[in-house]
Chain A
Amino acid sequence: MQDILQSLVLAVNLVFSGDSDLFEIIGLSLRVSFSAVVCSVVLGLPLGSLMAVGNFRGRQSLMIVLNSLMGLPPVVVGLVVYLFLSRSGPLGWMELLYTPTAMIIAQVVLITPIIAALSQEILSQLYEEYDEQFRSLNVPRWIAVRALLWDARFNLVTVSLAGFGRAVAEVGAVMIVGGNIDHLTRVMTTAIALETSKGNLALALALGLILITISLIVNASLFFVKIRSEQHARSQ
Chain B
Amino acid sequence: MSKTSNPPAIPIYGNPLPLEVEALYHCINGRNLIDGLNLKLETMGITVVMGSNGAGKSILLRLIHGLLQPTSGSIKWGGEMIGPAIRQSQSLVFQKPILLRRTVSQNLEFVLKLPQNQSKKRPNPNGEGLAMGDQLLKMVGLRSKSNQLARSLSGGEQQRLALARALATNPKVLLLDEATASLDPASISIIEGIVCKQKLLGVKVIIVTHDLAQAKRLADDVVFMSRGRILENTSAETFFSQPNTQVARDYLSGNLSFEETNAS
Contacts and interface: CB of A to CB of B under 8 A. Distances in A.
Question: Are A and B associated in one complex?
Answer: yes
Interface of A: 129-130, 132-133, 135-140, 143, 147, 151, 232-236
Nearest to A139: B114
Q: What 9 pairs between A and B have smallest CB-CB spacing?
A: A235-B151, A133-B98, A235-B149, A235-B152, A151-B101, A236-B152, A136-B92, A138-B88, A138-B84
6 contacts: A130-B98, A132-B94, A135-B87, A138-B88, A140-B115, A235-B150
A236 B148 CA distance: 11
B196 interface: no
A232 B101 contact: yes
B116 A138 contact: yes
Contacts of B84: 138
A144 B169 CA distance: 17
A137 B100 contact: no
A140 B67 contact: no
A235 B115 contact: no
B160 to A, nearest CB: 16
Interface in B110-128: 110-111, 114-116
A136 B114 contact: no
Contact of A132 (B67, B91, B116, B151): B67
Interface of B: 65, 67, 84, 87-88, 91-92, 94, 98, 100-102, 110-111, 114-116, 149-152, 169
Contacts of B149: 232, 235-236
Contacts of B94: 132-133
A151 B100 contact: yes
A140 B101 contact: no
Given A132-B67, A143-B114, A235-B152, A138 B101 contact: no
A136 B100 contact: no
Nearest to A140: B115
Contacts of A135: 67, 87
Contact of A136 (B91, B110, B152): B91
Given A138-B88, A138-B116, A147-B110, A130 B151 contact: no
A232 B148 CA distance: 11
B151 A136 contact: no
Contact of A137 (B151, B152, B169): B169
A233 to B, nearest CB: 6
Contacts of B92: 136
Nearest to A134: B98
Contacts of B98: 129-130, 132-133
Contact of B67 (A136, A143, A235, A236): A136
Nearest to B151: A235
A136 B89 CA distance: 10
Contacts of A236: 149, 151-152
Given A135-B67, A136-B67, A235 B114 contact: no
B251 to A, nearest CB: 28
Nearest to B65: A136
Given A137-B169, A138-B84, A151-B100, 18 more contacts: A129-B98, A130-B98, A130-B100, A132-B67, A133-B94, A135-B87, A136-B65, A136-B91, A136-B92, A137-B114, A138-B87, A138-B116, A140-B114, A143-B115, A232-B149, A233-B151, A234-B151, A235-B150
Most buried by A among B91, B94, B98, B101: B101
A235 B116 contact: no
Contacts of A130: 98, 100
A232 to B, nearest CB: 6
A138 B114 CA distance: 9
A212 to B, nearest CB: 34
A147 to B, nearest CB: 7
A135 B92 CA distance: 10
